[in-house]
Structure 1
Amino acid sequence: MSLNFDNTRIREHMLDGQFGLEKESLRVTFDGHLAHTKHPFGSDPHMERDFCENQTELITGVCDSIDAVWKEMAGLHKKAVKILFHLESGREFLWPFSNPPYVKGEEDIPIASYHGILKGKERYRRYLAEKYGKKKMLFSGIHFNYSFPESILKEGYRESNASTFRQYKDQIYMELAKKITRYSWLLVYLTAASPVLDGSFFEDDARGKTIIRDYGSARCSEIGYWNDFVPLLDYKNLETYVSSIEEYIEQGQLKEAAELYYPVRLKPAGENSLNHLREKGVNHIELRVFDLNPLSPVGIMKEDLQFIHLFLLYLMSLEDREFESFEQMMAIKNEKRAARYEERRIWIETGWSTSMPVRDAALHVLFGMEQFFQKFGGAYYRDVMEYQKRKLIHPEYRYVVAVREEYQKEYVEQGLELARRYAEGIDEERI
C-alpha cells in the first residue's frame, strides 16, 4: 500500500502535511543543579511538565510546514527562557542537553505534582519512578509528530483496493510505523547529540565528574528509555496492533499504553488512549528518538526536521513487507547500537547473520533517497540530503563528535555557561 509518487496529485502535495513538536528540557539553577521551584508557566497548554516538576515540555500547535513548526518551537523556547531568566525566586535556565546535569540523588528529583481529577497523572509517575528509577526519567528529548495531507491520502485511497477510507488511512500509518521502526537506527545515528554525562547519573557521590563512555545518544542506548522487555507488536491491522499492546497491559508488563517506550507511536486525534485509537483510527504518527541538540539554541536543527520529513516520504515509496518478530527485535537492537559513539563498533544487522558498518548502511539508504528525490528536481531536496551526507563523509560533522570535543572536560560547568549564553542572547532579543 505504498504511496504512488508518480501520481501527479500526490507529487504536488508531497511537501504538505501537518507537523508538531514536543521538546523536553530540565530547569536548572544558576549553579547547575535541578530547580526545585514549582512549574512557573501557569496553565499555558504549550508549556507543560513531563515526568518531574522541573522537566518542562514545550508543545507546538499543529503547523502546516516545517518552517512554521520550527518557528513556533523557537518562539515557545524563547518565551520560556525569558520567563526563567526573570523569575523573582532566582534566575533559572533550560538545560540544553538530553543528559541531566548535577543530580544529588533520587530525592533531588521532584515528581510532577497534580491534584483533583488529575491526581492519576502523579500516581502514574510514581509507578514509573518505582519501576525504572527517577534518574532515567530525567533524559530529555524531542518528539516529531506528522500526518499526511488529506489530499494525498484521498488520492492514495482512490488508487487502492481498501474498502473504506478509514481502513486505508490506518493501514498507511501502520505501514509507516513499521518502516520507521526498521530504520530508526539511521535517525538516531544522524541526530545523536548526548555523548557526555555527569558522574552523578551513575553514582550519587560522583557529582562533578565528567563521564565519557561509548554513547552517542545515552537516552537511546541500553541505559536509556526502554522497557525491561522488547515489545513485539502485531502490524496486521489497527485492531491487532492495539490488541497486542493491550495484551502486555493485561499481563502486567505495561501499566498503560504510555509506558510503551518504542521509537514510534500511532496516535488518534484528541484523547490519547487505546480505546480512542481503536474507535477513531490513526490521526498522526509520533517519532520519539531525537536528542536535544546543544549546538542549536532551540534544541534542534531545522535541517534535521526537513530531513525527517523527506525520510518519511521516502519510506512510503518503498514496498511494504511483513515485520516479523525477529525483525522487530533486530530493529531495536540496531537502534541501541546506533546510539554508540564509536563508529567502528556500530554494525547494523540487515538480516539473518548479515550486517554492515553503520556508515556504509547509512550511505546506502541516503543514496536510495537521492535517487528517489532526483526525479523531482529542485535545490531543496539536494540541500537537505547534502547536509546529512556531510555527517557521513566527514565524521567530524556528527553532532556527537563536536559535543564530546567541546564538553569532555567540565560537562556541567561548560553546559551551564552555554545555557547562560543562550538565555542572555534571547533576553537581549538577538534571536
Structure 2
Amino acid sequence: MYRLLEQRLRTIDANHLHPYLQNARTGLEKESLRVGADSHLSQRNHPLVLGSALTHPWITTDYAESLLELITPPQQRAPQALDFLLDIETFVYQQLGDELLWTTSMPCVLAGEDDIRIAEYGTSNAGRMKHVYRQGLAWRYGKAMQVIAGIHFNYSIDEAFWEPWQSVQGDTGSLRQFRDTQYMGMVRNLQRYGWLIIYLFGTSPAICKSFLGGRPAPEGMETFNQCTLYEPFGTSLRMGNIGYTNSKENKSGVKVCYNTLETYAQSLRQAINTPCPEYSKIGVKVDGEYRQLNANTLQIENEYYSTVRPKQPLRGFEKPTDALEQRGIAYVELRSIDVNAFHPAGMTRRQLFFLEVFMHFCLLQESPLVTADEFQSINHNQMLTAHRGRDPEVRLHCLGESVSLRDKARELLEAMRPVAELLNAVHAEDCYTDCLDSQIQLAWNAGITPSARMLEEMQTNQESFFEFAHRKSQEHRDYFLQRPLPPALHLEFQRLAEESLAKQAALESGSSMDFDHFLQAYLTGTLNDTKN
C-alpha cells in the first residue's frame, strides 16, 4: 500500500533533492470569539484600534462581528508562523480591555440567534458584499454553526522542488500542470486520511447547551451536567453533525469533484450557477434589502465547506475559481483543526511539525482518483471519528473493508516515519520524528488525546464546558497580557491598523458603481479591479 511512497522517497534520496524542500511556506489563520465581561458573546463593534476588518491583512473578522480572525503571512518555517500568530494576539489583547478571546472551538453561552451580530465591513460595495453573503448563510443555515471557531493551516511545498521533481518523474508536460496535478493528489489524500487529524487534534467533545438554542440534543449526545452536553468518545463535535460540514452536501446538491483542478473548479462553478428552489423561497432582494447574494446552490465558492481547499491568492475582486484556473494552485488550506484549548496560540509546535509531515506524506503517497463510494466513505470516516473516535471498538470504511480506527491510525503514523526522517534530514533537526512519536502515543492511548484531556479536566474540577473554557480563556489572557511585544512591532501593528482604516475610507469615498451592478459584475467574473 505504501510501495509508491517508498519508491518516491528513494528517488528523492538518490537524486539529492533534499535542499529543494527546505523553503516550504506555512501560514496560520485562527478564529476566536470576543466575549464580554458578562461572559456572553460580545455585542461591541470590532475595535477600531485593531484597524479595518475589511482591509487589514492580518486582523479581520469571520462570520460574526465578534468572531475575530488572526492571519499570519506565509513563513519559511512553521514555528515562525506560530510566533507571528502569538505576536498578533499579544497586540490584540493589549487593546481589548475587559474582553476575553474564547479559547475553544465551540462557542460560549449564546442567547439565541439574535445574540449573534453578523459582521459589518462598512459601506463600500466590497464591504456590503461580504455582509450580504453572511446574511445569506444565516437564512440558509442559521447563525449558530457559523460562530464555531477553528484553525486553518496553509501550506505550500518549496517552489524550487517542482522542476527537479518533475524531471526525475519523467513528466514532459508543463510545469504548472505538473504542480497542479501533484497538489490535487495531496488534496485527495488529505481528505482520505483527514479523519486522523480529527482524532489527534480534536478538542471539542462537549458543548454548552445554549448552542442548540432549545433544540433537542442530537442522537449520541449525553448530559454532562446541567449546562453541558458531551459525547463520551467524541473528539471534535465541531467537525460532526452540529457543525458546518459536508453532511449537508446531499441536501444542497453540491457535488464537488477533486479528480483534477479543472473538474474541481468546474463543479464549484456549476453549483454557484445552478438555481436552488429552496433558496429561491428566501428571496434575494426583498423590500429593497438583500437577503443573499443569489438564490443558487452556492452563493460563492467559500460557502462550500470542505476540510481542505486548493488555493491561489486573489487579485482584487477576482473569483477563487478564476484565480485557480488562471494561475494554478499556490498552496493548500487544511481546515479541520480545532483550537487547542491547552495552548495560548491554539496549537503547539509539535502539532505544527506533525502537520508538515502529514502534508508531505499526502503529497508523496499514492493518490488514486476518488470514486463516489470512496467519497461517501471519506465523509463517513470523518463523521464517525468526530463523534466516536476514542471508542476502542470503532471501525472505519477503508477501500471497501472495515478496519479498526486505532489499528489504521498506528499503521498510517508508522508509514509516515520515513517522511519524518526525510524532513529531519532536510532541516538537520530531530523535531519531525519526535513529533511523530508523540502522535503515535495518542494512537496507542486515546486517554491522552486533547479531547480526552478536556473531559478529564472538566470531570476532575467538576466544571461545565463553559467553566472550563472560561478558565482557559482567562489563563491565556493573562499569558498574553504578560507577554512582551517589541516596541517596533507594536508600532508596526499600529501603523497597519491606521493604514487599513484609511484604505477602507478610500474605498467608501471612491465608489462609483451602485451595488446591484457591482454584485452582478462580480458574480459574472467581469468586475474591473479599478471599481468597488
| TM-score, normalised via structure 1 length | 0.93
5+ residue gaps, structure 2: 217-224, 275-295, 486-532
Aligned to 1:420: 474
CA distance in 2, matches of 1:103, 1:112: 16
Deviations 1:106-152 (A, max 9, x none): 00000001222120111100100111110011110000001111111
For the residue of structure 2 that corresponds to 1:83, the secondary structure is: coil
CA contact (8 A) 2:207 2:230 kept: yes
Cα distance in 1, alignment partners of residues 191 and 165 from structure 2: 23
Q: Which moved more, 1:227-236 or 1:365-374?
A: 227-236
What's 1:103 paired with? 110
RMSD: 2.2
Instruction: Give the counterpart of 2:309 among 265, 268, 276.
Output: 265
* 1:45-85 Cα distance to aligned partner (Å, 9 max, x none): 2110000000000000111111111111111122222221x
Alignment of 1:34-49 (within 5 A): 34-40=41-47, 41-43=50-52, 44-49=56-61
1:116 aligns to 2:136 (yes or no): no
- Which residue of the other structure, out of 207, 212, 215, is the alignment partner of 2:230? 212
Q: Which moved more, 1:363-372 or 1:139-148?
A: 363-372
* Aligned match for 2:25, one of 10, 18, 25: 18
Cα-to-partner distance string for 1:173-201 (whole Å, 9 max, x where unaligned): 11111111111101111100011111101
The reply to whether residue 329 of structure 1 matches residue 352 of structure 2 is no
Partner deviation per Cα, 1:260-302 (whole Å, 9 max, x = no partner): 1111101113345111111111111100000001000111111
| 1-structure distance, mates of 2:297, 2:255 | 12
Distance in structure 1 (CA, Å) of the matches to 2:255 and 2:379? 10
- Mapped contact 1:21–1:69 kept (Cα < 8 A): yes
In the TM superposition, residue 355 of structure 1 has moved relative to its aligned partner by 1.5
- Cα separation, 1, equivalents of 2:236 and 2:61: 23
Amino acid at match of 1:333: H
Of 139, 154, 164, which residue of structure 1 is paired with 2:163?
A: 154
Shift in alpha-carbon separation, 1:279–1:7, aligned structure 2, 3 A: farther
Q: Which moved more, 1:221-230 or 1:369-378?
A: 369-378
Alignment of 1:299 with 2:346, yes or no, is: yes
For 1:343 and 1:169, the matched residues in 2 are separated by 39
> Is 1:343 aligned with 2:428?
no
Secondary structure of 2:343's aligned partner: coil
The reply to whether residue 229 of structure 1 matches residue 244 of structure 2 is: no
SS of aligned partner of 1:144? strand
Tell me the SS of whatever aligns to 1:229: helix
1:139 equivalent in structure 2 = 148
The verdict on how the C-alpha distance between 1:345 and 1:95 changes in structure 2, with shifts beyond 3 A counting, is: farther
Please say if residues 342 and 472 of structure 2, whose CA atoms lie closer than 8 Å, have aligned partners that are also in contact: no
92, 96, 104: which one pairs with 2:99?
92
Selected match of 2:267 from 244, 255, 275: 244
2:299 alignment partner, one of 255, 266, 272? 255
C-alpha spacing 1:235/1:195, structure 2 compared with 1 (3 Å): closer
Give the AA of the match of 1:176. M
Larger radius of gyration: 2
Of all paired residues, the percent bearing the same amino acid is 28
26, 34, 37: which is aligned to 1:30?
37
Of residues 81, 92, 95, the one that matches 1:69 is 81
Q: Which runs of 5+ in 1 are unaligned?
A: none
Shift of 1:19: 0.9
**Contact 1:24–1:57, Cα closer than 8 Å, also in 2:** yes
Describe the SS at the equivalent of 1:343. Answer: coil
Query: Shift in Å at residue 237 of structure 1?
Result: 2.6
C-alpha contact 1:269 1:280 (8 A) present in aligned 2: no
Deviation at 1:372, TM superposition (A): 4.5
In the alignment, the residues of structure 2 paired with residue 152 and residue 9 of structure 1 have an alpha-carbon distance, to the nearest angstrom, of 11
Aligned counterparts of 1:385 and 1:262: Cα–Cα separation in 2: 26
> How many pairs were matched up?
425
Q: Is the 8 A contact 1:177 1:264 kept in 2?
A: yes
Q: Report the counterpart of residue 309 of structure 1 in structure 2.
A: 356
1:326-366 Cα deviation digits (max 9, x unpaired): 111211111111112442353211122x1112111100101
CA deviation profile, 1:296-326 (whole Å, cap 9, x unmatched): 0111111111101111112222223221121
Measured in 2, the distance between the counterparts of 1:33 and 1:407 equals 20
Distance in 1 between the 2:226 and 2:94 partners?
27
Q: 1:411 is aligned with what amino acid?
A: F
Amino acid at match of 1:245: L
Q: Secondary structure at the match of 2:364?
A: coil
**Contact map agreement 1:22 1:143 (CA 8 A) in 2:** yes
Pairwise CA distance, 1:219: 1.2
TM-score (norm 2): 0.76
Q: Summarize the alignment of residues 371-382 of structure 1 with structure 2, pairs less than 5 Å apart.
A: 371-374=418-421, 379-382=430-433
Q: Separation in 2 of the partners of 1:203 and 1:155?
A: 55
Distance, in Å, in 2 between the alignment partners of 1:130 and 1:224 is 16
Structure 2 Cα separation of the partners of residues 422 and 235 of structure 1: 39
C-alpha change, 1:104 and 1:345, in structure 2 (3 Å) is farther
d(CA) in 2 for partners of 1:373 and 1:135? Answer: 39
Residues 344 and 479 in structure 2, CA contact (< 8 A), matched pair in contact too: no
Q: Quick check: 2:183–2:363 contact (8 Å CA) kept in 1?
A: no
Q: In 2, are the aligned partners of 1:407 and 1:415 still within 8 Å (CA)?
A: no
Check the 8 A contact 2:308/2:333 in 1, yes or no: yes
CA shift at 1:428, angstroms?
A: 2.3
Q: Distance in 2 between matches of 1:116 and 1:316?
A: 41
Displacement, 1:15? 4.4
Partner of 2:139: 130
What is the CA distance between 1:204 and its match in structure 2? 4.5
Q: Which amino acid aligns with 2:473?
A: A
Point out the more displaced range, 105-114 or 222-231: 222-231
**AA partner of residue 419 (structure 1):** S
